[in-house]
Structures are given as structure tokens and as C-alpha cells.
Amino acid sequence: MASRPDLKAVETYLLALQDQITAALRVLDPGAEQREDHWERPGGGGGRTRVIRAGRVFEQCGINFSHVQGERLPPSASAQRPELAGRRFEALGVSLVAHPLNPYVPSSHLNLRFFQAEQDGAEPVWWFGGGFDLTPYYGFEEDVVHWHRNARAACEPFGADLYPRFKSWCDEYFFIKHRQEPRGVGGIFFDDFDQGGFESAFAFWRHVGDHYLTGYLPIVERRRGMRYGEREREFQKIRRGRYVEFNLVQDRGTLFGLQSGGRTESILVSMPPEVSWRYDHRPAPGTPESELLERFLVVRDWLGEG
């Protein structure tokens, strides 16, 4: 019989991960402002939101922990599992979005979540989800290859099939349908994961969380000192507009938070603080800006395995 979920262990890990990531980002940007808010959800549960902002490295990072309960699973959570609609639920997660100041440093996103849906007289249904992805504004092949090697390392101990499967899932999920373009260069994404029972699935999920910093920090260190001007900054803001569009139109995590009555400020802390939209913006051919679209914002096998 499959092992039963240990929600306390999940919560303990997520809080420790939030602490670890916060500390690592503070080391990179010690002069940045930091704010922490504890909040309660009227329908049950609450969370801890941390914001690092106005630094020399990070313009804004939101690092959220939440643990919420409710009487009815929101549509965004049951869309892939319609048989669970209407069940009581419990959801725990950490979600991070980092928006650096320097346009040569990519934005990054990490999400780890655990859901449990219950109904009287039935065994609880539970699953893990999450992953991490990278959104550069200027493309560097060595950065993207490093990011994907790290993603593969996060998956490999649990099965050689996981990285290619979750890499493809990430490419499909973070595709801006109304723009017909990827949001970034991908990473890994998975949902409804219960493979091998709770202990095995939990171990894999933790391994993914533990690999976020080893993927992102070396890239930040490599690019944070590069010189940039108004041209690069303006292009960064325009590309950030695509990030906002995806989060508000498609992202299930954002929709779940809003539909479940979560704290709006915590949910929308993922938005970049400065962003621009330009009508029918098209970079000039042969520029680094056009190279981003032509060489990097395409679905590719970055590790040359295919």
C-alpha cells in the first residue's frame, strides 16, 4: 500500500527552502531592502511572503510560502483532474520569481507545490508539482546549457526519463499562446506527480527544490557586472511585458491563488516592478535583441541529446 502523505514534513521542508533561498539572495545583494509579511486566509490557512527589492542586483524578488485549506478545490487545480472538483483541499507551496536589475541577468522562477484533495469515505488523493525555468533578455549559450545540465542533474537519480519528459512539459507549459512564443528557455515542469508513493515522490520533489540555487546563482554571478545602457534596459522592460501577459492570462499558479482567495499582494509579487509595452515591437535584424528571439526563444535540445 502506498505510504500516506506527511504534510508536516512537506511544510518543514518548504519553510527551510524559503529560508535557504532568501539567505543566498541576500548574500548576492546585501544592500537590498527586505520585507516579510505573515498573512492569514479567511477560508483557512495563510502564508509568509518575503520581498527583496531595490538592490544593486535584484530589482525585485518575491519568495512566497503558503499553506491553505478550503472546502472546494478551485477550478484551476481540478482542471486536469475533473473527478476531484468540489473536494476539500489542502495546498502547500513555495513560489519564487527573481527579477534582476541588470538586463544581462535573466529572470528565474521556482515553484514547488503539494496538493491533497479529500472526500468523506475515500482515501485522500495527493500529488506534487513544480519545477524551475529561466527567462533571459539577452542570450548566452553557456548560461542556458548550464541551466539545463543542472535541471537534468535534479532529475537523473530518479529516472533517466524524467528530465526529457519534464523539459518538454516545461516547453509546452511556458509557451505564450497568444504570442506564439516561449516565455524563456525553459527548464523542467511537472504536475500530478505521485510516482513510487509518497516517500519517493517527496524525495524527488525535494531534489528539484535543492537544485534551484545551483542552477541560478552561477549565472547571476557571471552576468551581474556586465555594463548596460538605456537600450538594454528598455528591451528588458518590453520582454518583461511578455512575462506579465503569461502570468495573468495562462499561469495556473496565479489563477489558483486568486481563485482560492489567497493574498493578492503575495500572488502578484511575481510581477516585475517596471515594464513596458510597445505596439508591434520588432528588434532590428542582426542585433542581440533579435538573436534572443531567433536563437534562444525557440524549443531546442540544449544538451544535444536528441
CA 139 – CA 60 distance, rounded (Å): 21
Neighbours of 183 (CB within 10 A): 26
Annotated binding site: 95, 99, 109, 111-113, 148, 178, 261-263
Strand partners, 107: 135
**SS3 for the chain, per residue?**
CCCCCCHHHHHHHHHHHHHHHHHHHHHHCCCCEEEEEEEECCCCEEEEEEEEECCCCEEEEEEEEEEEEECCCCHHHHCCCHHHCCCEEEEEEEEEEEEECCCCCCEEEEEEEEEEEECCCCCCEEEEEEEEEEECCCCCHHHHHHHHHHHHHHHHHHCCCHHHHHHHHHHHHCEECCCCEECCCEEEEEEEECCCCHHHHHHHHHHHHHCHHHHHHHHHHHHCCCCCCHHHHHHHHHHHHHHHHHHHHCCHHHHHHHHCCCCHHHHHHHCCCCCCCCCCCCCCCCCHHHHHHHHHCCCCCCCCCC
Residue 251 has φ and ψ, to the nearest 5°, of -65, 120
CA 251 – CA 244 distance, rounded (Å): 10
Annotated binding site for substrate: 95, 111-113, 261-263
Strand partners, 51: 35, 62
Of 38, 67, 109, 211, the active-site residue reads 109
* The residue type at 306: G
Annotated binding site for a divalent metal cation: 99, 109, 148, 178
CA 64 – CA 50 distance, rounded (Å): 6
Does residue 109 have an active-site annotation? yes
- Positions marked catalytic: 109
